[in-house]
Amino acid sequence: MGFLYVPPFRIQGISIAGEETVVQVPELGLCFDIGRCPKPVLTSDYVALSHGHMDHSAGLAYYFSHRHFQGMGVGTVVCHPALEKPIHNVMRAWVDLEAQLTPYKVIPLAPDQELEIKNHVFLRAFATAHTVPALGFVVLERRSKLREDLVGLPQEKLLQLKNRGEAITRTIEYPLVCYTGDTAWGPHFDRPDVLSSKILITECTFLERGHRDRAAMGKHLHLNDIVELVKRSSAEAIVLMHLSLRTPVGDATQIIRESIPPDHHDRVLVLMDSRANRRRYEQQVKSAGQSRQTDPLA
């Protein structure tokens, strides 16, 4: 499995174009797509399914079944409304095959609808552009904060206002993780929640200079799109996935680095580049150790 640590989140999974895509964020109890359901992702209470292509959805029945066997509670898939019925059909077919009932839950989410997955944490769907009905997702945290014009006022004054019925707080949204799934370029790459997400996980299926047409035909992104996206996004980490097997991952990382302006290199990461990611993680552990040594309170 690919592994990245972007505090406080771990991003782990497998993603190879046409083979398998599953990306888990354990801290959110969530995985994006299910691929062939590698064992570690069973711990996710929710699967946010971007679309129905086999490389993203094959492990769904296995996920439901093994959660049940291991007493982990009923698994839930969140999907495009067009996929609700096909998923029920697949699960009905498994009842006939296995002669037993597997409990599962399907929650359809239309573009721009939300589902609360943890206290104050919401999964929001957004429309993308692929060859089949497809969604991207933003996980956001919503917190209420004191109204800016009231900051610094004494407690009793605030209480007075509150008792008078005035709203003294405002709600702020913090986009934490965005996952685009398989998608072509489109207006979703203008969305503030996508562009301001702390972590942006997106596909990069085509790298080669002559493959723009192939990317457009399969409704996928090309490295040129990523170069544009890197300039627009304020993400701390842009995680590239769904790379093709045509190019070995080390070479792919090299090609990506040559296309991205150097001042963005640190925040563009390739999920499946284990060697580079291990080096990055060792560095993170080392600097965490050093700051602990210099900070007597830590």
Considering Cα of 76, then 138, then 50, then 271, what sign does the dihedral take? negative
Supply 196's token pair.
């301001």
Residue whose CB is less far from Zn ion, 55 or 225? 55
Binding of Zn ion by 55 (CB under 5 A) = yes
Token representation of residue 227: 């170069």
Does the protein bind Zn ion through residue 225 (CB under 5 A)?
Answer: no
Least Å from the CB of residue 242 to Zn ion: 6
Tell me whether residue 182 or residue 273 sits nearer to Zn ion (CB atom): 182
Decide whether 176 or 178 has the Cβ nearer to Zn ion: 178
The DSSP code sequence of 170-228 is EEEEEEEEEE--S--S-GGGG-HHHHT-SEEEEE--B-SGGGHHHHHHTT--BHHHHHH
Q: How far apart are CA 180 and CA 172, in angstroms?
A: 23
Q: Is 53 in the site for Zn ion (CB under 5 A)?
A: yes
Among residue numbers 160 through 189, which ones bind Zn ion (CB under 5 A)?
182
Among all chains, which residue has been given the structure tokens 């040559």? 258
36 binds Zn ion (CB under 5 A): no
Which one, 57 or 65, has the nearer CB to Zn ion?
57
Residue nearer to Zn ion on the CB measure, 105 or 214: 214
Q: Which stretch binds Zn ion (CB under 5 A): 54-62, 71-79, 149-157, 286-294?
A: 54-62
Helix count (H) and strand count (E) of the chain? 9, 14
Q: Binding segment for Zn ion among 30-38, 48-56, 193-201, 225-233 (CB under 5 A)?
A: 48-56
H-helix segments, 48-107: 54-57, 60-69, 84-98
Min separation Cβ 221 and Zn ion, Å = 11
Distance in Å, CB of 80 to Zn ion, minimum: 12
Question: Least distance in Å: CB of 255 to Zn ion?
Answer: 20
- Of the ranges 53-61, 87-95, 99-107, 248-256, which one interacts with Zn ion (CB under 5 A)? 53-61
Task: Count the residues of the shown chain that bind Zn ion, applying the rule CB under 5 A.
Answer: 3
Nearer to Zn ion, 53 or 191 (CB): 53
Which DSSP letter does residue 140 get? Answer: E
Smallest gap from residue 189 Cβ to Zn ion (A)? 17
Nearest to 268 by CA among 222, 237, 224, 289: 237
Which is nearest to 90 in space by CA: 16, 137, 129, 34?
34
Cβ 51 to Zn ion, closest distance in Å? 6
User: Are 171 and 142 within 8 A, CB to CB?
Assistant: yes
Task: Report in angstroms how near the CB of residue 56 gets to Zn ion at its nearest.
Answer: 6
Amino acid identity, position 275: R
In the complex, the residues that contact Zn ion under the rule CB under 5 A are 53, 55, 182
